[in-house]
Structure 1
């Protein structure tokens, strides 16, 4: 079995509830990392598929019918933080990255 690569992103203490942080990964891609008020950490691709802009980390984090979402600041589509699916247009989505917190550090796994 090939071990998964673990990528440290930031200290958990660098995250503020309901605000995103963008991180550049070693392969040049970007992720948007979010901490909810409930303490859950989520990571999605940072590129908005509707505009092509790297802006999801700057989106508004909230709740849409019990679903934790980030709303893109460009065209205002909401993306489920758990699945990456656009709740306004389910045929569109962004990749979700597995994330964990270990020893106070947010890591992509």
Structure 2
């Protein structure tokens, strides 16, 4: 299967219980590294693991929080804050955004489609 096809279909990544709330986990979808973030209410977000400012795959190790009620993750290197829902960099409007990916939980499994 081509990488493009892999990123357009739902792929099972892991069990929901494998991801601790308020913590990021790195995963590979096709050849793309993503960061999964689970919130205490069991909502799960998937964003790029690549930090465009630090130029490193580190986002999953960032600090999960919120800004104005919206869930966020802060880069562990330079501390840019990204919205988990949109990928927008909230702390620096000039900084690049990170991509977001569709996520669903089906029968206790986290599935991602990009």
Q: How far, CA to CA, are the matches of 2:15 and 2:93 in structure 1?
A: 32
Q: What is aligned with 2:35?
A: 32
Deviation at 1:89, TM superposition (A): 1.9
For the residue of structure 2 that corresponds to 1:57, the secondary structure is: helix
Deviation at 1:66, TM superposition (A): 1.4
Q: How far, CA to CA, are the matches of 2:102 and 2:63 in structure 1?
A: 21
Structure 2: unaligned runs, 5 residues or longer: 1-7
What value does the CA root-mean-square deviation take over the aligned residues? 1.1
Number of residues paired by the alignment?
105
Going by fraction, where is strand more abundant, 1 or 2?
2
Q: What is aligned with 2:10?
A: 6
More displaced 10-residue stretch of structure 1: 88-97 or 48-57 = 88-97
Q: What is aligned with 2:53?
A: 50
Q: How far, CA to CA, are the matches of 1:6 and 1:40 in structure 2?
A: 17
TM-score by length of 2: 0.87
* 2:83 corresponds to 1:80: yes
Q: What is aligned with 2:23?
A: 19
Q: What is aligned with 1:64?
A: 67
TM-score by length of 1: 0.91
